[in-house]
Structure 1
């Protein structure tokens, strides 16, 4: 055996874990950056769509939310297909189709074309997030999973940090080549998804035993440890089939919390540029720069807090604290004016992606196999109806009251309920330890 092979064979579990983070996570983060950019860039275009096409705030809220209806309805079938055909092919397919449809948003000429393309975009992108959540369960043991989920969700923060100023600049191309600035934005931001899909196809292995950067022994050891954890959690929770999901109170609890969380995330994503625009006379680029600030805080939260959620009690405590932080942030945003309001939105955003990766560790301790793939999709499916409800309520209340902030109180009320629900979270392994006889 050569010295290089011996060195590889002697790598510790921690070294293998770090290697997987370096080789797998950048591609996944890049994919989610583009996904979130292409689903939320209409936030920067909201006011221009009203001026150029006469799309009202209520119609905009409906169109923004329709994405989530078709996305949600397609989630479970998409994830079950990925379970059969593998992540590499399916993520590549998702990226190509959403990139093409996102660029086609430049063809919008009224409310109905806006609605139709948003629904098609939802179908195209369906399965990416729960697919990656399932994919990560094949690569990381439970104690490392919240950290991996948190790093993946950095894509959302990066998309908003980069996307808002970029969208502002592209909107300033109004009239170039006979196109509106928002048309340039959709085209320029849609094409890179198709290009990154090629890299995903070439470099993303489906599972550890297909990875060229791991030895066979390392890959088999990792897969065996993950399978043992899944069997233990699923046995303790009594979940071995897809139908068991609907009977598991803990998974239904995660769904409820995630629903309130998604209402907050997407209300801010789609309406923050418009809220900031109401603070004073600002250029599209200035609005974009200010819009990016809360998402910088969301990136910090995603990096710092999920890695602390190494067991059930810590996960539960962090989940409760983050939901309380979201509630407090939106209250400040609603009453604080430009300065305190921005501080509030930064506080809320800091907690967004500290909570979400922790929530998705719970189904993975209670399900296994196809039930896990379907269960993760189920959680995301129901949660994403919050992605429809949040923008819809924000748009309706703005039209009814004339205030861009009035819908925030609806979000505060639902997130307060979500905060209460977090106190009852329990992992499958906690079920197991609770039911086991005491040691003597």
Structure 2
């Protein structure tokens, strides 16, 4: 009898695996393309900063302010955007904001001064604010916990991939300078922004809101996937309810999502995003300072090395995390290594050792994101999920504003990136310690449950 039940469970698990693989093929890779263009339209202004500033007469401060304005509006509109997603559905709302940011990003090509640039970047920030938290929430509606970290890894692959390839593609587009009377940087915004309008229309037409709406899933596959997700949600609600004693209900409904788990997750994400932002903004200059005689081509290849290492580490860590169903140590250990990596890059003299340190830091930032969001989802109940994910994403991305100004200011004062990298190191260690509180609590709950079973 027991053998027969085990065989049935194995058959169900196999059917679920096959269904999830189909969702990967039909849905996840399309979402990856969406995120690649989202991230590209977020960071491409950095690739053309020199040319853009020269043509618009921008100072370094005013150019930096354009980036800051983007993130201010990105942060402020994250939660309202998720509220609209909950009201209108993923297909309508995500399709709408993709079209809006595609048009706005393309219009950056026609900015004529600081004011027009600030207005356009604000609109891009407002539109993009809901995409990442909305997609992270959307993934939880399609991938069970046993597959979620790997799904997040494929989605998060967009960031290191875009950072690596985006500079090369943008460099080629800049060669269109003078074509049809437009500058190279204007072509960059047009050619990297307008495809989003097409993608937004495809989202409107094709993106299913839930597995039940997917025409490419059979009725049997829909039932398997929906049942797995519903059973998982019931089990998680019971676990979180017993762990919290349902104390959250005493809070005002508007702020019910602001519990201890959400706040600690936001702190961890702030620390992770700090490193990611530092890698995107400052690593090219750090490498150029470490190897002052290197050509721009060689510098570009060296900058790509940490991202290539990250891509490999990202898939390995997320696959292993799903296989073992463990999230805490898979985040804690890389963050400790990332903190050590920043210290290596800051204080070791050999260029090769500095590069190893940058690889560790880059790996710690980007490769832990997929695991972190799987862990964060498991830590939030269904009522807290919409606002909780948006709050974590908003607070985390405020790290980019802080690090952009702080590290630049420290560089001007000390004429070195070393203190700025120490800042990144400290936050990696702080984030790891916060993750440790989750791990210790989980171990305590397991020991308590084991004791109750023994009794």
Q: What is the CA–CA distance in structure 2 between the aligned matches of 1:170 and 1:229, rounded to whole Å?
A: 47
Moved more, 145-154 or 307-316: 307-316
1:438 equivalenced with 2:452 (yes/no): yes
Q: What's the offset of the Cα at 1:424?
A: 1.2
Q: What is the CA–CA distance in structure 1 between the aligned matches of 2:256 and 2:324, rounded to whole Å?
A: 22
Q: What's the offset of the Cα at 1:311?
A: 8.1
**What secondary structure, in the 3-state scheme, does the structure 1 residue paired with 2:58 have?**
coil
Moved more, 302-311 or 32-41: 302-311
1:217 maps to 220
Matches within 5 A, 1:308-327: 308-310=320-322, 314-327=326-339
Q: What is the CA–CA distance in structure 2 between the aligned matches of 1:379 and 1:63, rounded to whole Å?
A: 23
Q: What is the CA–CA distance in structure 2 between the aligned matches of 1:148 and 1:133, rounded to whole Å?
A: 10
Q: Given the alignment, which residue of 375, 381, 384 partners 1:362?
A: 375
In the superposition, the TM-score normalised over structure 2's length comes to 0.85
Aligned positions, number: 431
2:124 maps to 121
1:194 equivalenced with 2:205 (yes/no): no
Q: Given the alignment, which residue of 153, 157, 162 partners 1:154?
A: 157
1:6-25 deviations in Å (ceiling 9; x for gaps): xxx99711111111111111
Structure possessing the higher relative contact order (Cα contacts under 8 Å, 6 or more residues apart): 1
Matches within 5 A, 1:299-314: 299-310=311-322, 314=326
CA contact (8 A) 1:70 1:119 kept: yes
1:132-182 deviations in Å (ceiling 9; x for gaps): 111111111112111111111011122112101112222344444443332
Q: What is the CA–CA distance in structure 1 between the aligned matches of 2:107 and 2:399, rounded to whole Å?
A: 25
CA contact (8 A) 2:275 2:362 kept: no
1:346 equivalenced with 2:359 (yes/no): yes
1:260 maps to 271
Q: Given the alignment, which residue of 121, 140, 145 partners 2:143?
A: 140
1:179-204 deviations in Å (ceiling 9; x for gaps): 33322222221122122223323332
CA contact (8 A) 1:76 1:374 kept: yes
1:37 maps to 40
Q: Given the alignment, which residue of 269, 272, 284 partners 2:283?
A: 272
CA contact (8 A) 1:99 1:191 kept: yes
Q: What's the offset of the Cα at 1:396?
A: 2.8
CA contact (8 A) 1:326 1:349 kept: yes
Q: Given the alignment, which residue of 317, 334, 340 partners 1:328?
A: 340
Q: What is the CA–CA distance in structure 2 between the aligned matches of 1:430 and 1:209, rounded to whole Å?
A: 37
Q: What's the offset of the Cα at 1:254?
A: 0.9
1:18 equivalenced with 2:30 (yes/no): no
1:410 equivalenced with 2:423 (yes/no): yes
1:5 maps to none
Moved more, 195-204 or 377-386: 195-204
Structure 1 unaligned spans of 5+:
1-8
Q: What is the CA–CA distance in structure 2 between the aligned matches of 1:77 and 1:235, rounded to whole Å?
A: 29
Q: What is the CA–CA distance in structure 2 between the aligned matches of 1:177 and 1:405, rounded to whole Å?
A: 45
**What secondary structure, in the 3-state scheme, does the structure 2 residue paired with 1:407 have?**
helix
1:102 equivalenced with 2:105 (yes/no): yes
1:305-329 deviations in Å (ceiling 9; x for gaps): 0122238983111111111222223
Q: What is the CA–CA distance in structure 1 between the aligned matches of 2:222 and 2:257, rounded to whole Å?
A: 29
In the superposition, the TM-score normalised over structure 1's length comes to 0.87
CA, structure 1 residues 193+272, in 2 after alignment: closer, same or farther (shift >3 Å)? Answer: farther
CA, structure 1 residues 175+85, in 2 after alignment: closer, same or farther (shift >3 Å)? Answer: same
Q: What is the CA–CA distance in structure 2 between the aligned matches of 1:170 and 1:386, rounded to whole Å?
A: 30
1:279-337 deviations in Å (ceiling 9; x for gaps): 44677666554443322222212211012223898311111111122222322333456
1:377-415 deviations in Å (ceiling 9; x for gaps): 111111111122122223333444444565323222222
Q: Given the alignment, which residue of 204, 209, 214 partners 1:206?
A: 209
Q: What is the CA–CA distance in structure 2 between the aligned matches of 1:194 and 1:319, rounded to whole Å?
A: 36
1:408-435 deviations in Å (ceiling 9; x for gaps): 2322222221122111125999897677
Structure 2 unaligned spans of 5+:
1-11, 241-245
Q: What's the offset of the Cα at 1:95?
A: 1.3
Moved more, 93-102 or 22-31: 93-102
Q: What's the offset of the Cα at 1:222?
A: 2.1
1:375 equivalenced with 2:388 (yes/no): yes
CA, structure 1 residues 336+50, in 2 after alignment: closer, same or farther (shift >3 Å)? Answer: farther
